[in-house]
Structure 1
Amino acid sequence: MEQRFVMKCGGSTLAALPDGFFHELRDLQAAGVKPVIVHGGGPAISETLTKLGIETEFVNGLRKTNDDVLDVVEMVLAGRINKEIVRKIGVNGAQSLGLSGVDGGLIQAKPVSNAHEIGFVGDVTDVNASIIEGVMGMGYIPVIAPIGIDAAGQRYNINADTAAGAVASHLGVERMIVVTDVPGIMKTVDGEKVVLPSVTVAEIDEMIASGEIYGGMIPKVRAAVQCIQGRVQEVVIVSGQEPGVLTRAVREGGVGTRIVQSSERRV
């Protein structure tokens, strides 16, 4: 059976990754492995909104999105960030095709339940996996910007982690790789920080409550947990700066932190 994986990465994280990471993508693609990338771009969106003098605010971690903000979200995600990634993959010898969730109705969406206070932010209702399959079948790595659309043509700002989990689930992928700037979830043992090889969603909640997971690691971990939906059984958090990290995450394991739904830990 062909090997495939879905990788979620923030736009700023991807921009900072070394060429070796993209060489790995090239080598995996050449070996018949089929990657799919879903990316974010929050900092770049905020920077552009500031430059344009458009006010932005967050409600429970999600960006309040009116028409003006939505135009910028689409411009930055589907335009600038998406094409930066496609260019970087191409320069390093692999082939990719940039898409947004609007293209071909790739990501179908509906308003989130609190749309009255947050605007055009969406939940994924369906993913047209045949488009992704077709792009992979042509020999390209799909690079997807998380903009959704409904039957009436309304666009929605989709959380990248939610979109990545939905894409992985509709493709039938059980494992997602979340590429960050940290080697995994850290814990202090005998005064030394170590990477936890495996942790459950319940244990993450306990570690946040106890203060073992703190600061900037909290949103990274919560974002990874959002990816566990549908058929996705586990998420691996890895550092994109670590040599050979993708190959190890896809084929060997033993890298980063595996987040699993329950205590029935997968081997």
Structure 2
Amino acid sequence: MYDNVTVNGIVLDTSLLKEYDKRLVILTAELGKITVFANGARRKNSQFTAVSQKFVMGSFTVHPGRNAYTLVSADIKENFIELSYDIEKMSYASYACEVLQAFSEEGIGAKDELNLLYVTFKAIINARQDLRLIKSVFILKLLDIEGLGLQMERCVKSDTCENLHHISLKDGGMICDAVVHKVNGARSISDDAIYAIRFVLSRDIASVYSFDISINVLDEIEKLSNDYLTMHSERTFKSLDILKGLL
């Protein structure tokens, strides 16, 4: 018999099972992405009703099974209920959860990813920046956490730090003027966009959303981040379709 384990995490997704049960996908600091069955969560007065909602952050005690876990108890720390009051904010939060499902794995701790999701939820709720900026920053920072961060300080071909006016997503970073003619797919990038991306990659997770940019730079960074995500993920994220319908 396996002993119960307690993990800290956020519910990324939920689905219905049978008449009264729910299946949860939880991103945890200790075990990465895990599947948890919340038996009886849909019954009236169930102790699992509140904790088995999407976006809930808490401490979950689970019992390990062969391929999944069974929820034993849970303590809610934050429910982020504000996300459910606004369809646009809810869509952006769902998008972040969906992307994280694609990049997280069971058995590999996800402390940084969990912290990023937490501050992303906070940024979406506060909405001090354009929500498209929050999405773009989330993508760039997550890929950096996963070891796929863009090299923004020097040319990935010549190693020089000078005359950096182009970027190659395929090569993972900046391209200097001297070799840009040799690089297929290199695109020009503005100085403001370079500065903004450098800011994102150099900041700790807690302060990654502490800036704003012009609409033109936002358009540039949004396209770049979307293209870079597509390059590193084979999945099509359904939440993007919802977002396109809202914008």
TM bucket (normalised to shorter chain) is: under 0.3
Structure-1-length-normalised TM-score: 0.24
Q: Which has the higher contact order (CA 8 A, sep 6+)?
A: 1
Larger Rg: 2
Structure-2-length-normalised TM-score: 0.26
